[in-house]
């Protein structure tokens, strides 16, 4: 009955959903394991059912694609071809002689352990937001741009009445327009990059030509940008390009920010500072991949991204990866990668050699999307001299309350030249979040490149659970009734960009 | 326009929870953090070192800034924990184990 090869897909965002559907449609028994109460991940996060949203698409740019994937998943769950484990927080994937044990903690309290035994694993763990520090960034009312969006999409709430959206990157656009549509007065969108540089000959000629080619291949994405621009105008949001937030003000909570113009070298222009009253600052400086599970499995990580081949295989046999864990690139790229990964799994786990010609169109879309995001990456970068805004009394490690001054002393007086040594000397990165929030800043202050952190466990685990882990390797004993092949494969790759 | 109007929400009946003994209203499906934001509260923890106020930062369970005591369990991430009728929510001082 359960002789079919068993795949665990970890993460139910765009990549995990596309992978699950592609693999299940080809006879693989899929267990989709996700921390959320509903599938969708961060990108397709929908309002909780109890809120009774009749028009949830008002907060989403790609609602139809997400809805199609959700319906595809529901069909497979009904047919018994996909088991969807919600509220499961995976903390470790363990290699075993005959497969893998996926260890998770159940529910928001994350104390009760669950282990699923599988033949292969597909990591679709997505990413999280990078925020660089500045004075006042720990004040209540300062939230990450993605966090403001997640609270709005999931719980239909906003943190205040007047917001500034700041930092750098394409995420700031939907955050600003989403908050404005939800009734928040968005006083300014402060972008440290100059988005016009995408279309201009700044930088060297080769970079410009590559950008131009990547953009020309993505007319849909260019149109999307134009839509956001129109919405910003409609909501009268002031856009301040080549500006940055230098300080957040307030005692018990945020009451204003100071913004300033940047010069061509990425330094604050003296005398351009101006104060904007606001009770909310939504700030972000790009995204970082979640790679903890891949690292503890021993997968090769290049820079910050899990390394994969053309089939989305990592270098560990039996482990595939797709979506932003392999590099930040947005939902359409995640869908393409997930689809290819699912098809590769389906072939490999049944002993067949996959034929890449079958997914040639998706692979082509994957290439174009990667080129597009590489082009964006050359433009959306934090100000080159952002560390100059980090005063000695600015808290850098939010968990352990380690300041910029303490980190500078560790670097300057004690000779720490990397994140790990700074951590040992100052405790920066040793708290609850395990350095996820402060690592980019600590690396910047130490003058080194941020590398993957090699966390042994992907999230805090109660000691009792760790002690019992050995005994709990029973595996999921679910009898699935016969493979049901879905001829009308739902959620094919994200070639179609809805809305 | 507010977010509920924007998506034409027809939420289930509101219910009552308490924050440090004060009654506040919450909607089914919301997280504890969302209920607190709706009540106009943006901080509910003070840090171990400097005793500074904190609330939601990342909103997706990564940063652990929004820790709160719910039904006598300290260090719950308010952005992840669903709010339930009758919940007793308490602001958290330091490690949450001292009071």
How many A/B residue pairs have CB atoms within 8 Å?
166
Q: How far apart are CA A44 and CA A58, in angstroms?
A: 12
Handedness of CA B22, B28, B33, B39 (dihedral sign): negative
State how beta strands A142-144 and A82-85 pair.
unpaired
Which of A122-126, A135-139, B76-80, B92-96 shows the lowest mean pLDDT across its residues? B92-96
Inter-chain touch A156–B81, beta carbons under 8 Å: no
Inter-chain touch A51–B4, beta carbons under 8 Å: yes
Contact (Cβ atoms closer than 8 angstroms) between residue B82 and residue B29: yes
Inter-chain touch B2–A183, beta carbons under 8 Å: yes
**Tokens at A255, concatenated:** 């009451």
Q: How far apart are CA B12 and CA A50, in angstroms?
A: 6
Contact (Cβ atoms closer than 8 angstroms) between residue A343 and residue A359: yes
CATH 3.50.50.60 fits A6-128+288-350, yes or no: yes
Closest Cα partner for B34 from A184, A152, A183, A110? A152
Pairwise pLDDT comparison (A378 vs A464), residue with the higher score: A378
Å between B99 CA and nearest CA of chain A:
20
Q: How far apart are CA A49 and CA A86, in angstroms?
A: 14
Nearest CA in chain B to A45: B60
**Tokens at A19, concatenated:** 């992978």
Percentage above 90 pLDDT, chain A: 78
Are A6-128+288-350 and A133-284 in the same CATH fold? yes
The domain A133-284 is classified under which CATH number: 3.40.50.2300, 1.20.1300.10, 3.50.50.60, 3.10.20.600? 3.50.50.60
CATH topology of domain B18-93: Ubiquitin-like (UB roll) (3.10.20)
What does the mean pLDDT of chain A come to?
Answer: 89
Which among B2, B29, B79 is the top mutation candidate for probing chain A, defined by the most A β-carbons within 10 Å of its own β-carbon? B29
B40 vs A: CB within 8 A: no
Q: How far apart are CA A245 and CA A190, in angstroms?
A: 7
Choose among B9, B34, B57: nearest Cβ to A144.
B57
Superfamily the domain A385-450 falls into: BFD-like [2Fe-2S]-binding domain (1.10.10.1100)
Nearest CA in chain B to A48: B29
Over residues A350-368, mean pLDDT: 96
Which of A173-182, A222-231, B41-50 shows the lowest mean pLDDT across its residues? A222-231
B76 vs A: CB within 8 A: yes
- Residues B72-81 pLDDT 10s: 999 999 999 9
Which among A12, A48, A128, A184 is the top mutation candidate for probing chain B, defined by the most B β-carbons within 10 Å of its own β-carbon? A48
Q: How far apart are CA B40 and CA A293, in angstroms?
A: 37
Contact (Cβ atoms closer than 8 angstroms) between residue A179 and residue A158: yes
| Residue spans per domain, chain A | 6-128+288-350, 133-284, 385-450
Inter-chain touch A48–B28, beta carbons under 8 Å: yes
Q: Which residues of chain B have a CB within 8 Å of the CB of A42?
A: 60
Contact (Cβ atoms closer than 8 angstroms) between residue A21 and residue A72: yes
Q: Which long-range contacts (CB under 8 A, 24 or more apart) does A264-269 make?
A: A265/A384, A265/A385, A266/A192, A266/A383, A266/A384, A266/A385, A266/A386, A267/A383, A267/A384, A267/A385, A267/A388, A268/A244, A268/A383, A268/A385, A268/A388, A268/A389
Inter-chain touch A141–B42, beta carbons under 8 Å: yes
Beta strands in chain B (DSSP E): 15-19, 22-26, 45-46, 53-54, 67-70, 73-77, 88-90, 92-93
Contact (Cβ atoms closer than 8 angstroms) between residue A422 and residue A442: yes
| Residue spans per domain, chain B | 18-93
Inter-chain touch A52–B50, beta carbons under 8 Å: no
Q: What is the model's pLDDT at position A152?
A: 97
Complex ipTM, two decimals?
0.96
């Amino acid at each position: 009955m359960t002789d079919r090869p068993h795949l665990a897909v970890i993460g139910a965002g765009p990549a995990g959903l596309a992978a699950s559907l592609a693999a299940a449609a080809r006879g693989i028994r899929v267990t989709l394991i996700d921390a959320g109460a509903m599938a969708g991940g961060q990108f397709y996060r929908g309002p909780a059912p109890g809120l009774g949203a009749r028009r949830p698409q008002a907060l989403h740019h790609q609602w139809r694609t997400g809805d199609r994937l959700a319906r595809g998943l529901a069909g497979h769950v009904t047919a018994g071809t996909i088991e969807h484990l919600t509220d499961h927080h995976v903390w470790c994937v363990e290699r075993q002689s005959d497969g893998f044990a996926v260890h998770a903690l159940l529910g928001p309290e994350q104390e009760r352990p669950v282990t699923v035994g599988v033949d292969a694993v597909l990591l679709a763990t997505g990413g999280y937001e990078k925020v660089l520090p500045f004075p006042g960034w720990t004040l209540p009312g300062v939230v990450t741009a993605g966090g403001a969006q997640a609270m709005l999409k999931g719980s239909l709430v906003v943190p205040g009445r007047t917001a500034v959206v700041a930092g750098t990157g394409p995420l700031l656009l939907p955050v600003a327009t989403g908050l404005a549509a939800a009734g928040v007065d968005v006083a300014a969108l402060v972008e440290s990059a100059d988005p016009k540089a995408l279309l201009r000959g700044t930088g060297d000629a080769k970079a410009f030509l590559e950008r131009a080619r990547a953009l020309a291949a993505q007319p849909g994405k260019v149109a999307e940008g134009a839509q956001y621009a129109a919405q910003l105008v409609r909501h009268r949001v002031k856009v301040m390009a080549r500006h940055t937030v230098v300080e957040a003000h307030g005692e018990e909570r945020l009451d204003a920010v100071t913004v300033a113009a940047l010069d061509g070298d990425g330094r604050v222009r003296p005398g351009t500072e101006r104060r904007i009253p606001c009770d909310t600052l939504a700030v972000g400086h790009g995204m970082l991949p979640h790679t903890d599970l891949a690292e503890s499995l021993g997968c090769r990580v290049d820079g910050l991204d899990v390394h994969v081949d053309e089939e989305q295989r990592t270098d560990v046999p039996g482990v595939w990866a797709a979506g932003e864990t392999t590099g930040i690139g947005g939902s359409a790229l995640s869908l393409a990668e997930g689809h290819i990964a699912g098809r590769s799994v389906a072939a490999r786990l049944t002993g067949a050699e996959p034929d890449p010609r079958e997914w040639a169109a998706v692979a082509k879309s994957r290439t174009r999307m990667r080129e597009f995001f590489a082009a964006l990456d050359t433009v959306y970068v934090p100000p080159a001299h952002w560390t100059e805004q980090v005063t000695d009394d600015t808290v850098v490690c939010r968990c352990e309350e380690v300041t910029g001054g303490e980190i500078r002393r560790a670097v300057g007086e004690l000779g720490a030249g990397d994140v790990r040594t700074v951590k040992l000397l100052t405790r920066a990165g040793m708290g609850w979040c395990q350095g996820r929030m402060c690592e980019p800043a600590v690396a910047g202050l130490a003058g080194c490149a941020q590398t993957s952190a090699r966390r042994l466990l992907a999230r805090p685990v109660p000691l009792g659970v760790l002690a019992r882990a050995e005994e709990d390797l029973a595996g999921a004993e679910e009898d699935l009734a016969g493979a049901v092949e879905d001829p009308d494969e739902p959620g094919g790759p994200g070639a179609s960009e809805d809305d | 326009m507010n977010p509920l109007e924007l998506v034409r929400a027809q939420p289930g009946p509101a219910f009552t929870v308490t924050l440090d003994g004060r009654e506040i209203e919450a909607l089914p499906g919301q997280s504890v953090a969302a209920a607190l934001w709706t009540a106009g509260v943006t901080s509910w923890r003070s840090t171990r070192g400097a005793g500074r106020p904190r609330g939601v930062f990342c909103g997706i369970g990564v940063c652990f800034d929004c820790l709160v005591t719910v039904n006598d369990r300290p260090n719950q991430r308010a952005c992840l924990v669903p709010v339930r009728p009758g919940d007793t929510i308490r602001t958290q001082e330091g490690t949450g184990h001292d009071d």
